[in-house]
Structure 1
Amino acid sequence: MDLSLGPDAARLRGELRRLVAEHVPAGFLGAFTDDPADLETAQKFCRLLAERGLLCPAWPREYGGWDASVWEQTVVREEMWAAHEPRGAQYMGVNWVGPTIMRHGTAAQRARHLPPIAHGEVVWCQGFSEPDAGSDLAALRTAARPDGDGWRITGQKVWTSYAVMAQWCFLLARTSRGGRRQDGLTVLLVPMDAPGVEVRPIRSLLGPHHLNEVFLDDVRVGADAVLGEAGGGWGVVQEVLSFERVGIARYARCERLLQAAPPVLGGAWDDLPADLRGRWARMLAHCRRARLLAYRVIALQAEGRVRPQDAAAYRIAVTRLDQESAEVLMEIAALDPGGGEESRLFRRRVEEHWRYSHASTVASGSTDVQRILLARALLAAR
């Protein structure tokens, strides 16, 4: 396989790296730090990408893209994650909210929601997890009851990324009971400024703005808030999770940091323990494995096939890579004798990668859940 993905993708990769070098400070470690300037950097850079048609190039032109291939969108995903995601919170709207609305939304929903995402003008959050329904998502209790020509929603969500700054929430609620627990769930597109919505930030290692609780107290939405069929939300969510799990190119940041280690250490690289350098090389091989698994899922999605087990296999590999590479990099950074700016920046990037890696095997479904999905698919195929 040609991992350069062809000349168009190579040109796009070069342009994105140039834009990052010109518009993102060298010390940028993400939008959600204690420094408000980092969030402003991300918002400006996101708008810059949108103006150049680079935020979601694979989208149809009518929705703000330019009909590029899924591989060019993959390049955007890889380069942004490798550079500590200078799009800020936009990857959620671009990677899976937008594509899901394209697949399941009405013409009015597509016209209302897709252009603002493509223009970098709106932030979405995901209202899935609850205090008693995380990996076991079908156990959720947030309920939406019919109210005239709309719905009234009551419940609580937790670990909701970006809720404090989001304008819209992609919410899963129970609208009926009976049969399997997965039946009777509905996806609702909820404005975050609706009366009855309250957001409470949760401080964490990941920094401010990132995690939140969301309380919904008799929140009213219209009938046009339903995405897809009422009661058919579980099928929509399975597609969502497949797009979400491949939407973050964790392997790209791992590889960028691993490749940076030898030049940063310089002559001290050869003095590292042989076992540590061996583990470093193994992590690079695991980066390649995760990349190939991601490309397999992307190719299937491009053909209209969304299979949760393929995304699960990728997710298991890439989240383990995230954590194992973080441990190797922390050991390397601790042995770096350099005191210059390049060494200090390398250590800061490694430490940030290590902090984020702690949540990777839980976010978007725990590793145990991914293994269950994969095992069920393998057993069904026998």
Structure 2
Amino acid sequence: MEYEMGEGVATLRRELRQLVREHVPPDFLGAFTADPADLEVAQAFCRTLAERGLLCMAWPREFGGRESSPWEQMAVREEMWALHEPRGAQYMGVNWVGPTIMRHGTAEQQARHLPPISRGEVIWCQGFSEPEAGSDLASLRTTARRDGGGWRVTGQKVWTSYATMAQWCFLLARTSKGARRQQGLTVFLVPMSDPAIEVRPIASMIGPHHLNEVFFDELRVTEADVLGTVDEGWSLVQEVLAFERVGIARYARVERLLHEAPTALGDQWEKLPEELRGRWARMLVHARRARLLAYRVVALQASGRIRPDDSAAYRIAVTRLDQESAEVLMDIVAEASLPDEAGRRFRRAVADHRRYSVSATVASGSVEMQRILMARALLAAS
């Protein structure tokens, strides 16, 4: 299974790698640490990408893009995730907040929100999951009730990544009760600076900024804050999740770490148990499978089709890869002494990958829910 990406993709990858070498410290392990300097590295790097037209390549020119092919945008996505995502949280705005606003937003919303995203100046968070509505998102309880010419939003969100640093929230709330839970939901675009919003960080092993509670206490929103049509937000959410799940190219990081292992271990590589090296080779095959599933979704999106079941298949493959590869890599570094700086850096990168992999089969929709999506699609097609 091969996909034609065009002649410019290889050149683009070389340019991106050179920019990372020039602007990102070699020991950078992501923006979401306790050190504010890491976030500033990511924000500055986003501005560098934006100045070169590399942040939102596939966007239309009128919205700050270059109208590049989806494959070029995929190349950016892979190169960034392979190197601990030096764009920080910008992938959320680039991959799905921006495109959703393009497709469903008013002219005023597009003018307000798209230029800052394309310049790498704004961070978004996602107000979806709740204490009793995670994988079963349609059962959410955050409500927006009519109040004059707008609404008052009251409720709680949880697991909200980047809420402590975000300027805007893509918020899903219930605006009416329908015959089905998926009916009567509406998307609002709300500023996180509003005093009616309170963010409480949740301590976790994956570090600050990733897990937060967000409380909405009579938050005032208006018609101008509604994205799409009132009560029809579920269709937007399905589109968003399809883009989000394929937008996280963690297989690229897995492939890089797996390929680095023999070099990092040097002469010790051949002394590893044969069974362990066999598991390492199997992970390379699984990484390739996840990559091809991602390419399938990109090809469908490029043709104007968005199928949640294809995104679900990719999501299952890449999250299982995350966890299985983390176990293999941890076993590899446990077998070796890595005394030099390159070895210590590799060990830290593997440990970082392991921390993130723990939540992989839950984040962005659990594996069980992805299987349900696939089953429903197969039954509908039969």
Q: Does the residue aligned with 2:44 lie in a helix, a strand or coil? A: helix
Report the alpha carbon displacement of residue 324 of structure 1 after superposing the two structures with TM: 0.3
Q: Does the residue aligned with 1:217 lie in a helix, a strand or coil? A: strand
Identity among equivalent pairs (%): 73
Aligned to 2:18: 18
Matches of 1:2 and 1:318 in 2, distance apart?
19
Q: Does the residue aligned with 2:295 lie in a helix, a strand or coil? A: helix
TM (normalized to structure 2)? Answer: 0.98
Matches of 2:334 and 2:15 in 1, distance apart?
34
CA contact (8 A) 1:336 1:343 kept: no
Matches of 1:58 and 1:178 in 2, distance apart?
37
Matches of 1:275 and 1:381 in 2, distance apart?
41
Aligned to 2:55: 55
Report the alpha carbon displacement of residue 111 of structure 1 after superposing the two structures with TM: 1.1
Matches of 1:265 and 1:239 in 2, distance apart?
43
Report the alpha carbon displacement of residue 373 of structure 1 after superposing the two structures with TM: 0.4
Matches within 5 A, 1:262-341: 262-341=262-341
Report the alpha carbon displacement of residue 3 of structure 1 after superposing the two structures with TM: 6.2
Q: Does the residue aligned with 1:359 lie in a helix, a strand or coil? A: coil
Aligned to 2:207: 207
Aligned to 2:134: 134
Matches within 5 A, 1:124-273: 124-273=124-273
Aligned to 1:112: 112
TM (normalized to structure 1)? Answer: 0.98
Q: Does the residue aligned with 1:218 lie in a helix, a strand or coil? A: strand
Matches of 2:8 and 2:105 in 1, distance apart?
31
Stretch of structure 1 that moved more, 137-146 or 1-10? 1-10
Matches within 5 A, 1:68-83: 68-83=68-83
The C-alpha deviation readout for 1:234-269, integer Å capped at 9, x for no partner, is: 110000000000000010000000000011111111
Matches of 1:30 and 1:228 in 2, distance apart?
33
Report the alpha carbon displacement of residue 4 of structure 1 after superposing the two structures with TM: 8.0
Matches of 1:304 and 1:242 in 2, distance apart?
13
Stretch of structure 1 that moved more, 77-86 or 188-197? 188-197
| Amino acid in structure 2 at the alignment position of 1:199 | V
CA contact (8 A) 1:17 1:79 kept: yes
Stretch of structure 1 that moved more, 103-112 or 172-181? 103-112
The C-alpha deviation readout for 1:269-311, integer Å capped at 9, x for no partner, is: 1111111101100100111100000000011111111111000
Matches of 1:167 and 1:5 in 2, distance apart?
35
Report the alpha carbon displacement of residue 378 of structure 1 after superposing the two structures with TM: 1.0
Does 2:84 correspond to 1:94? no
CA gap 1:79/1:3 in 2 versus in 1, 3 angstroms: farther
Aligned to 1:40: 40
Aligned to 1:362: 362
Which segments of 5 or more consecutive residues in structure 2 lack a partner in the other structure? none
CA contact (8 A) 1:46 1:120 kept: yes
Matches of 1:308 and 1:140 in 2, distance apart?
20
CA contact (8 A) 1:322 1:357 kept: yes
Aligned to 1:9: 9
Report the alpha carbon displacement of residue 206 of structure 1 after superposing the two structures with TM: 1.4
Report the alpha carbon displacement of residue 150 of structure 1 after superposing the two structures with TM: 1.3
Matches of 2:328 and 2:3 in 1, distance apart?
25
CA contact (8 A) 2:198 2:216 kept: yes
Report the alpha carbon displacement of residue 130 of structure 1 after superposing the two structures with TM: 0.4
Which segments of 5 or more consecutive residues in structure 1 lack a partner in the other structure? none
The C-alpha deviation readout for 1:92-127, integer Å capped at 9, x for no partner, is: 101110111111111111111111100011110000
Number of aligned residue pairs: 382
Matches of 2:3 and 2:135 in 1, distance apart?
33
Aligned to 2:353: 353
| Amino acid in structure 1 at the alignment position of 2:137 | L
Structure 1 runs of 4+ with >3 Å offset: 1-4
Report the alpha carbon displacement of residue 210 of structure 1 after superposing the two structures with TM: 1.9
The C-alpha deviation readout for 1:56-83, integer Å capped at 9, x for no partner, is: 1000111111110000000110000011
CA contact (8 A) 2:294 2:314 kept: yes
